[in-house]
């Protein structure tokens, strides 16, 4: 297949993936709403639970979602079976966690807090699995509907929760309800409207859903590392005793960085089913060209945030978050690397070089944590920002030799 058709398919997937994740704009309104009603300290407390939930949602994936996409993209007749067997494993995992948290002695007042965010993690995990199944079939319009419903329910339920009691448990319960509703409707949409999905004569038995079992550890490492970047900074700030108001300011800045990275992230995911099919392999020119374009776009985005960040922060969150502009300027330095890293790792996974990608992601993630532990006690949230920038730069440095002309996919 020539480069142009491949770029066209990636473009089509990118359009629908962008439409699906356009709900993140609603999520951005959700976090702005929380910031204005809860304040920096309570937002910091919420961010600790939310960041941990997002990491746990990825840990509970075991790296299966990406392998599900790659395997089903090659053989679409396996879609229903692979999806159900993957769901079995995840249900068992989260059920064990719920029982453990519910029965563990000594949690007392923290038990409800932990159960709420554990439920959010489980809901996000299922939504992500449905999204990757839609991606495998390059039928992302279903994902778009599901993600918009998630954003709508999150915002719609947050208003009465804040009106009733502006507290972290209240908004966490509202967010949990949004995830449950979106996941249930997503399952119904896939079952009813994804006519390309083959049926199965009976429920498949419990077992490993993918044939590439040896790649599961690598995929799990990659998933945790990608989810952990920046979110692990929140956890480290909490572990090292940084004030919750400072954590709230850092989280506000990190949310802007996350929103800025959405489009390059969508592009990376859109390319996965294209580069995974055997007849599509070898698009070295497409990969190299897109990496250059993404790097330049990241440089431009970082410059814009450094220039206008001090104006953007009070506009979005209010004057009480003015201290978030400084960590935003530091985090913006990571954007050139963040724009290309996800795409580079996806390209390696599609080319069945998952362990190369896992080594780069795990090494950089470990470096991120090490710098956090060293610098946060001295520099606070600015030490966390330096850890995030260093980790992202390390990923780019480690994968750069893998895309040299002699080692192209």
Instruction: Look at residue 162 and give its three-state secondary structure.
Output: helix
pLDDT tens-place string over residues 27-69: 777 788 888 888 888 888 888 888 888 888 877 777 777 777 7
pLDDT of residue 371: 92
pLDDT confidence bin for 408, thresholds 50/70/90: very low
Looking at 83-87, 113-117, 201-205, 360-364, which range is the least confident one?
A: 201-205
N-to-C CA span, the chain: 14
Which residue shows structure tokens 């940084």?
Answer: 242
Whether the predicted pLDDT of 281 surpasses 50: no
DSSP state of 214: G
The structure tokens listed for 153 are 């329910």
The answer to whether 183 and 130 are in contact (CB under 8 A) is yes
pLDDT of residue 373: 92
Q: What is the mean pLDDT of residues 118-137?
A: 84
Q: What is the mean pLDDT of residues 181-206?
A: 70
The structure tokens listed for 95 are 């059920």
pLDDT of residue 213: 59
pLDDT of residue 303: 92
pLDDT of residue 375: 92
Q: What is the mean pLDDT of residues 83-104?
A: 85
Whether the predicted pLDDT of 275 surpasses 80: no
Q: What is the mean pLDDT of residues 127-138?
A: 78
The larger pLDDT score, comparing residue 195 to residue 323, is at: 323
Plot region of 75 (φ>0 → left; ψ -120 to 50 → alpha; else → beta): beta
Whether the predicted pLDDT of 174 surpasses 80: yes
Among 168-182, 196-210, 336-350, 394-408, name the most confident range. 168-182
pLDDT confidence bin for 201, thresholds 50/70/90: low
pLDDT confidence bin for 409, thresholds 50/70/90: very low
pLDDT of residue 3: 41
**Averaged confidence pLDDT in the chain:** 77
Question: What percent of the chain shows pLDDT beyond 90?
Answer: 4
Whether the predicted pLDDT of 4 surpasses 50: no
The larger pLDDT score, comparing residue 109 to residue 98, is at: 98
The larger pLDDT score, comparing residue 214 to residue 348, is at: 348
Identify which of 269, 266, 257, 248 has the alpha carbon closest to the alpha carbon of residue 229: 257
Distances (CA, A) of 313 to 34, 116, 247, 308, 327: 14, 29, 15, 9, 11
Whether the predicted pLDDT of 191 surpasses 80: no
pLDDT of residue 75: 67
Whether the predicted pLDDT of 215 surpasses 70: no
Looking at 74-78, 145-149, 163-167, 378-382, which range is the least confident one?
A: 74-78
Q: What is the dihedral of CA 367, 301, 313, 38, to 10 degrees?
A: -50
pLDDT of residue 24: 63
The structure tokens listed for 221 are 């490492």
Rounded CA-CA distance 43/203 in Å is 43
The answer to whether 124 and 57 are in contact (CB under 8 A) is yes
The answer to whether 131 and 20 are in contact (CB under 8 A) is yes
Plot region of 394 (φ>0 → left; ψ -120 to 50 → alpha; else → beta): alpha
Whether the predicted pLDDT of 198 surpasses 60: no
pLDDT confidence bin for 7, thresholds 50/70/90: low
The larger pLDDT score, comparing residue 283 to residue 356, is at: 356
Rounded CA-CA distance 385/41 in Å is 19
């Amino acid at each position: 297949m020539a480069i142009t058709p491949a770029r066209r398919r990636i473009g089509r997937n990118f359009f629908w993936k962008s439409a699906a994740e356009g709900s993140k704009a609603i999520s951005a309104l959700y976090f702005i709403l929380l910031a204005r009603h809860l304040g920096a300290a309570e937002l910091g407390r919420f961010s600790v639970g939310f960041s941990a939930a997002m990491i746990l949602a990825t840990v509970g994936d075991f790296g299966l979602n990406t392998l599900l996409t790659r395997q089903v993209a090659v053989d679409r007749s396996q879609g229903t079976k692979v999806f159900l067997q993957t769901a079995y494993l995840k249900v068992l995992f989260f059920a064990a966690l719920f029982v453990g948290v519910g029965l563990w002695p000594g949690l007392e007042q923290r038990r409800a807090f932990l159960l709420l965010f554990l439920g959010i993690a489980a809901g996000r995990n299922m939504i992500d699995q449905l999204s990757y199944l839609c991606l495998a079939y390059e039928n992302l319009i279903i994902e778009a509907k599901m993600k918009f419903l998630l954003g709508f329910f999150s915002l719609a339920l947050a208003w009465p929760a804040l009106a009733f009691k502006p507290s972290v448990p209240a908004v966490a319960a509202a967010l949990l309800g949004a995830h449950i509703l979106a996941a249930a409707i997503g399952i119904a949409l896939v079952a009813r409207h994804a006519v390309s999905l083959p049926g199965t004569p009976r429920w498949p038995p419990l077992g490993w859903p993918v044939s590439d079992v040896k790649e599961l550890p690598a995929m799990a490492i990659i998933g945790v590392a990608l989810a952990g970047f920046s979110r692990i900074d929140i956890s480290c700030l909490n572990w090292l005793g940084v004030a919750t108001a400072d954590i709230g300011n850092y989280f506000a800045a990190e949310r802007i960085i996350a929103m800025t990275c959405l489009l390059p992230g969508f592009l990376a995911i859109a390319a996965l089913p294209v580069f995974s099919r055997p007849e599509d392999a070898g698009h070295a020119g497409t990969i190299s060209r897109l990496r250059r374009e993404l790097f330049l776009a990241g440089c431009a985005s970082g410059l814009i945030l450094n220039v206008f960040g001090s104006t953007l922060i009070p506009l979005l969150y209010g004057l009480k978050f003015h201290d978030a502009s400084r960590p935003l300027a530091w985090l913006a330095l990571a954007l050139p690397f963040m724009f290309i890293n996800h795409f580079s790792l996806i390209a390696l996974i599609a080319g069945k070089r998952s362990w190369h990608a896992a080594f780069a992601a795990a090494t950089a993630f470990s470096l991120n944590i090490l710098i956090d532990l060293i610098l946060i006690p001295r520099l606070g949230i600015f030490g966390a920002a330096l850890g995030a920038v260093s980790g992202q730069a390390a990923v780019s440095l480690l994968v750069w030799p893998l895309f040299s002309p002699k080692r192209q996919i």
